[in-house]
Amino acid sequence: MQEGLGVAEAMSSPATGAILARFDTKLSSLALLERSKKVRRLVDLTIRGIKVQPIPSCLYEGRRAILVSNYPSVSQTLRAVIKVGCRLPGEGFRLKGIGRPEVITHANALLRALGIPDLIFPVHKDESGAYSLQRRVVKEVLSFLNGTGHALWMSVTGSTRGNGLLEGDLRTGAALFSVRKRVPLVPMGLLTKEEKGRRKVVKVSFGEPLDPPDAAQIGEFERADFLIDFSKLVLCHVAKLLPPGQRGDFEDVEEKLVETQRRLRIQET
């Protein structure tokens, strides 16, 4: 009898897995955020406790942009990005993000029904332990940025420490996509508040768009330094949107901004 139970369990396990896989596929296929404006309004109302400044004209319908923000935590950043995406003008959900794969793999049933798996370009750890985009994903991001009115969110740092503004953990992907596709970088500040030992996003602010220079004006030897400085420039503008004490490594933001602007002007001459 015990042997029979063991066989039944072994048979039911793959069957259960197949049923769950089909269920996940059906949930993800709903893509409610992309399909329904009413759902977007409902989700916007459901995500409480976050005040969003008026959407700037650089994010209006028909305009492409790369939103760059600080990175307080995975879950809090995701909530803020979804809320902003729900408020962008337009018929469809125009915003996609670049994030860790667990945003997709750990998504609950509601997030899957909203369509999160199709709204995240996943980054994976390389051999050094740093997060990076695979070539296939890079092509997908570049193709997405070709679309009229598409907006992309990404962090310029790969870690959530220090409210996500870490100078030593700088990533140049946003600057690279901006230059390659001639898409402006739009600073977005996620102001946080400590509640019961946890940092929560309570306000989202936007800065003025930063237009990339013509790639033809950047020499091969200067390209790497330019991408670093352009990334640091947008981080400075993100830091200016946050109050002192929430700027991570950019508390002395005015000094860093002056120095970064000086370096960029030297490279452009």
Query: What gap in Å lies between CA 18 and CA 7, rounded to an integer?
Result: 18
Quick: pLDDT tens for 175-234: 999 999 999 999 999 999 988 878 899 999 999 999 987 767 777 778 888 999 999 999
Which residues touch 95 (CB under 8 Å, ≥6 apart)? 67, 81, 84, 85, 88, 119, 151, 152, 153
Please give the pLDDT value at position 149.
93
Euclidean distance between the first and the last CA atom of the chain, given in angstroms as a whole number: 83
User: Tokens in use for 149?
Assistant: 């009115």
Q: Is 115 helix (H, G, I), strand (E, B) or coil?
A: coil
Determine the average pLDDT of the residues in 241-262.
94
Instruction: Provide the strand spans (E) within 184-240.
Output: 185-195, 198-206
pLDDT in tens, 52-107: 999 999 999 999 999 999 999 989 999 999 999 999 998 889 999 998 888 888 88
The pLDDT value given to residue 3 = 43
* Residue-wise pLDDT tens digits, 121-171: 988 877 666 667 788 989 999 999 999 999 999 998 877 777 888 888 888
**Whole-Å CA distances, 68 to 8, 191, 207, 208, 236:** 52, 14, 10, 12, 11
Q: What is the mean pLDDT of the chain?
A: 86
For the chain, list the domains and their CATH numbers.
Answer: 31-268 (3.40.1130)
